[in-house]
């Protein structure tokens, strides 16, 4: 791919992220976490992805990927959505012999799930705390409130809720995200005061009430991670009204990269994201439609770190969903003009970023 200048055409505001594809070693264990603790709904067939045939601007639908096997079988794949029939947020692909991803390599830093209201984020925290799941940090980023943890195989996760857009801290040319201690007591109080707006389901092999977990108080919260946050709906900007709240979405995807400059050239110069903040040490944040960020990049593991071994556990691809065929065609035309390879696949038009991560484009 040829070096690309800043794109003259920005991505439209209506982009969505997901599904994010994760290669996992123990699918059943991962489902116990994502379905049993995070209340995501599993499906053994792709759901709600949309798309069109590769002969048009749109990429083929994920439904063209073919049947999947049941959890526990070699090569099983399970899609996870916020509610039955919703577009998938994650796809867990079982590869029991996948080597673990070494820490000082490129790949996933975390997937961020944005909750529609502060109260829904609080309830997710309370479920995890009741299960004694370990947390990695808590932070107030000005634009959002965030909780950090990892799934059973070490994939980083952020759970967060946005503040209203008019309250985001700003500077000339972008937002001014920061990291400060999270008011965890206030977050928990918000969760106990409001009815749930997120669908719940029994965990595999058991049942669970949809109400708040037992127990009171809050774990001590403190800042301690890089600025983060994001939304699959840039127009939302804050807490959704209860009638509109439908569960979490993929808010943003944060990648560990080898070079910030090459990541910016691809994701901004070719795909059309715009930089929203570049003054945090070792990190870069980009977005579409004036959102605080849809993608984050960092070189905290060091510059020029190598990619993980081929077929390693962890990130197996990310999806950017465009509002319509014309928007998708514009990105494909821009990519081809920059010399990037664009190939049809059952998951969308696939490109590879400078660190080799598959990026699927669809509608």
pLDDT at residue 48 tops 90: no
pLDDT digits (tens, 9 = 90+) for 173-187: 789 999 999 999 999
Q: What is the mean pLDDT of the chain?
A: 82
Q: How confident is the model at residue 193 (pLDDT cuts 50, 70, 90)?
A: confident
Q: How confident is the model at residue 50 (pLDDT cuts 50, 70, 90)?
A: very low
Task: Give residue 9's pLDDT.
Answer: 74
pLDDT at residue 256 tops 60: yes
The residue with greater pLDDT, 63 or 147, is 147
The residue with greater pLDDT, 54 or 354, is 354
The residue with greater pLDDT, 79 or 53, is 79
Q: Are 182 and 145 in contact (CB under 8 A)?
A: yes
H helices of the chain, in order, are: 27-34, 118-130, 184-193, 260-264, 325-337
Which architecture does CATH list for 16-362?
Answer: Roll (3.10)
pLDDT digits (tens, 9 = 90+) for 233-249: 333 334 444 445 468 99
The residue with greater pLDDT, 196 or 41, is 41
What number is the average pLDDT over the span 6-16?
A: 81
pLDDT at residue 3 tops 90: no
Q: What does DSSP say about strands 16-17 and 295-298: parallel, antiparallel, or unpaired?
A: unpaired
pLDDT at residue 270 tops 80: yes
What number is the average pLDDT over the span 152-167?
A: 97
What pTM, to 2 d.p., does this model score?
0.81
The DSSP string of 178-230 is --B---HHHHHHHHHHS---S---PPTTS---SSPPS----------S-----
Q: How confident is the model at residue 75 (pLDDT cuts 50, 70, 90)?
A: confident
The residue with greater pLDDT, 322 or 72, is 322
Structure tokens given for 220: 């001590």
Positive or negative, the CA dihedral 232, 66, 354, 52 is negative
Q: Supply the Cα-derived Rg of the chain in whole angstroms.
A: 19
């Amino acid at each position: 791919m040829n070096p690309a200048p800043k794109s003259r055409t920005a991505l439209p505001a209506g982009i969505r992220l997901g599904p994010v594809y994760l290669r996992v070693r123990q699918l059943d264990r991962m489902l116990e976490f994502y379905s049993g603790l995070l209340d995501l709904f599993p499906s053994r067939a792709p759901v709600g992805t949309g798309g069109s045939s590769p002969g048009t601007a749109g990429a083929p639908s994920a439904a063209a990927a073919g049947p999947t096997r049941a959890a526990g079988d070699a090569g099983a794949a399970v899609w996870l959505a916020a509610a039955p029939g919703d577009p998938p947020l994650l796809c867990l692909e079982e590869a029991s012999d996948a080597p673990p991803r070494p820490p000082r390599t490129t790949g996933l830093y975390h997937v961020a799930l944005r909750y529609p209201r502060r109260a829904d984020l609080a309830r997710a925290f309370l479920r995890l705390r009741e299960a004694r799941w370990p947390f990695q940090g808590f932070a107030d980023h000005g634009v959002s409130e965030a909780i950090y943890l990892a799934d059973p195989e070490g994939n980083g996760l952020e759970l967060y809720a946005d503040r209203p857009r008019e309250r985001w801290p700003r500077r000339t040319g972008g937002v001014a995200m920061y990291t400060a201690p999270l008011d965890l007591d206030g977050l928990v109080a918000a969760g106990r005061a409001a009815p749930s707006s997120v669908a719940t389901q029994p965990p595999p092999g058991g049942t669970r009430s949809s109400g708040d977990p037992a127990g009171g108080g809050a774990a001590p919260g403190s800042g301690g991670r890089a600025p983060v946050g994001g939304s699959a709906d840039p127009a939302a900007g804050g807490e959704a009204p209860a009638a509109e709240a439908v569960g979490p979405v993929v808010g943003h995807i944060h990648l560990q990269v080898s070079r910030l400059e090459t990541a910016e050239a691809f994701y901004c110069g070719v795909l059309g994201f715009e930089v929203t903040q570049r003054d945090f040490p070792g990190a870069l944040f980009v977005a579409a439609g004036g959102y605080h960020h849809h993608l984050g990049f960092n070189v905290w593991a060091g510059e020029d770190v190598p990619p993980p071994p081929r077929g390693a556990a962890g990130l197996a691809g990310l999806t950017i969903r465009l509002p319509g065929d014309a928007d998708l065609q514009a990105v494909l035309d821009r990519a081809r003009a920059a010399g990037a390879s664009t190939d049809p696949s059952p998951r969308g038009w696939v490109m590879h970023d400078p660190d080799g991560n598959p990026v699927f484009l669809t509608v």
